[in-house]
Structure 1
Amino acid sequence: MTDRGDAVVLEEVRKTYELGGEPVHALRDVSLRFERGSYTAVMGPSGSGKSTLMNLVGCLDTPTSGRVVVDGADVAALSERERTALRGREIGFVFQTFNLMPRLTAAENVALPMVFQGVPRAERDDRARALLARVGLGERTDHRPNELSGGQRQRVAIARALANDPTLLLADEPTGNLDSETGRDIMAQFAALHREGNTVVVVTHERHVAEHADRIVHLLDGEVEREERVADPRRPAAGGRE
Structure 2
Amino acid sequence: MATSGSGGTDGDDASIGTAVALENVRKTYQLGEPVHALDGVSLEIPRGSYTAIMGPSGSGKSTLMNLVGCLDTPTEGTVVVDGEDVAALTDRERTTLRGTTVGFVFQTFNLMPRLTALENVALPQLFQDVDRGTRRERARDLLERVGLADRADHLPNELSGGQRQRVALARALVNDPALVLADEPSGNLDTETEADILDLFAEFHDAGTTMIVVTHERHVAERAERIVHLLDGTLERIEELDGSDEGASRPAGEGSRSIGGGASPSDAADGDDGASS
Fold-level similarity (TM above 0.5): yes
5 Å matches for 1:55-204? 55-204=66-215
- The one-letter amino acid paired with 1:179 is D
Structure showing greater relative contact order (alpha-carbon pairs closer than 8 Å, 6 or more residues apart): 2
- The one-letter amino acid paired with 1:203 is V
Take 1:85 and 1:3, find their aligned partners in 2: how far apart are those partners? 20
Matched-pair identity in %: 72
Cα deviations across residues 93-147 of structure 1 (Å, max 9, x unaligned)? 0000111011111110000000011101111110000011111111111111111
TM-score by length of 1: 0.93
Cα deviations across residues 70-95 of structure 1 (Å, max 9, x unaligned)? 11110000111111111011100000
Match of 1:32 in 2: 43
Match of 2:16 in 1: 4
Cα shift at 1:231 = 3.9
Cα shift at 1:212 = 0.5
Cα shift at 1:230 = 1.1
Runs in 1 of length 4+ with deviation above 3 angstroms?
none
Take 1:130 and 1:185, find their aligned partners in 2: how far apart are those partners? 18
Query: What is the alpha-carbon root mean square deviation over aligned residues?
Result: 1.2
Cα shift at 1:150 = 0.6
TM-score by length of 2: 0.82
Unpaired stretches in structure 2, ≥5 consecutive residues: 1-11, 247-277
Cα deviations across residues 13-37 of structure 1 (Å, max 9, x unaligned)? 11111111x1111111111111111
Take 1:143 and 1:33, find their aligned partners in 2: how far apart are those partners? 40
